[in-house]
Structure 1
């Protein structure tokens, strides 16, 4: 009987932890796609209008002009996605202009990418700040990137377009 009582006490404690920590542990998901928010995507088109609101009747604030530019989706409304760029600027973009292909922006000038995910590994190339690279596998500290025919591993902290806790195969 005593063992059952202890099990019940442990289960009650676990339930309390889940109730209190639940909102902090739960990830937000988009109401349209049921995909995580925020999440990273890239610009599919060579040009993409950024609007003040989620419809064609809203004013165009500016135009993104770099194909494959990484963007972060922060909200969804119908066929529209609210996005932010590296500078925190953004607005609403039609979903047809976005791609699930993952890219990153190189944040450090002359960032050396390595042949292996190790600081001492041989250098594969050096990339200028602002270069857009395709994102590959990521471990806790490094990501494999491809840009202009060069492939290598870059420190995750020097890239924009990938979450610091994100792991990719």
Structure 2
């Protein structure tokens, strides 16, 4: 009886460890943010070049990887649209995209600071640093400023 109880506990422990590992692996994968490496990259309906092109993205476009299948990554964008992209077209560099109609860039981290510029929906930035709920960003044209993180994706 004791040997059976021990084996039962050992099996239960193995199941719990396995389930926890799977949960942690899926959580880590669900939070992997990447960016597209070049302009004109297709997002497809499935993990194959013969699958339908759903939309096309540009260099620096941020995506969240939710799954992988072979050399393909299943991704979601800032509007919640999902599709598949060849993994070789993704970089680990995180970028941010404006998810509201207009976001103001400021000299400092707060609404009391002077405006530097405004950015429209869909403009992409490279994050430089954070301070509280603010992110200092840099645009490809060299413009830098602070933006409230709630106006950007991912935040």
Judge which range, 81-90 or 116-125, deviates more.
116-125
Map Cα deviations across residues 11-35 of structure 1 (whole Å, 9 max, x no partner): xxxxxxxx8xx96xx64348xxxx5
- Note the 1:26-41 alignment, pairs <5 A: 27-29=24-26, 36-41=29-34
Contact 1:28 1:38 in 2 (8 A): no
| Unaligned stretches of 5+ residues in structure 2 | 1-15
Q: Does 1:115 align with 2:107?
A: yes
Q: How many residue pairs are counted as aligned between the two chains? A: 135
Map Cα deviations across residues 109-155 of structure 1 (whole Å, 9 max, x no partner): 33211122122122222212221111222244111111232101110
CA RMSD of aligned residues (A): 2.4
Judge which range, 98-107 or 61-70, deviates more.
61-70
What SS is found at the alignment partner of 1:157?
A: helix
Q: Indicate the residue corresponding to 1:96 in structure 2.
A: 88
Counterpart-to-counterpart distance in 2, 1:109 and 1:59? 32
Counterpart-to-counterpart distance in 2, 1:158 and 1:144? 12
Map Cα deviations across residues 71-100 of structure 1 (whole Å, 9 max, x no partner): 111111222110011221121111111112
Choose from 106, 121, 126 the match for 1:134.
126
Q: Which is richer in helix?
A: 2
Where has structure 1 moved over 4 Å in runs of 4 or more? Answer: none
Counterpart-to-counterpart distance in 1, 2:147 and 2:115? 10
| Unaligned stretches of 5+ residues in structure 1 | 1-18, 163-169
TM-score of the superposition, structure 1-length normalised? Answer: 0.68
Contact 2:33 2:64 in 1 (8 A): yes
- Note the 1:15-164 alignment, pairs <5 A: 27-29=24-26, 36-56=29-49, 58-147=50-139, 148-162=141-155
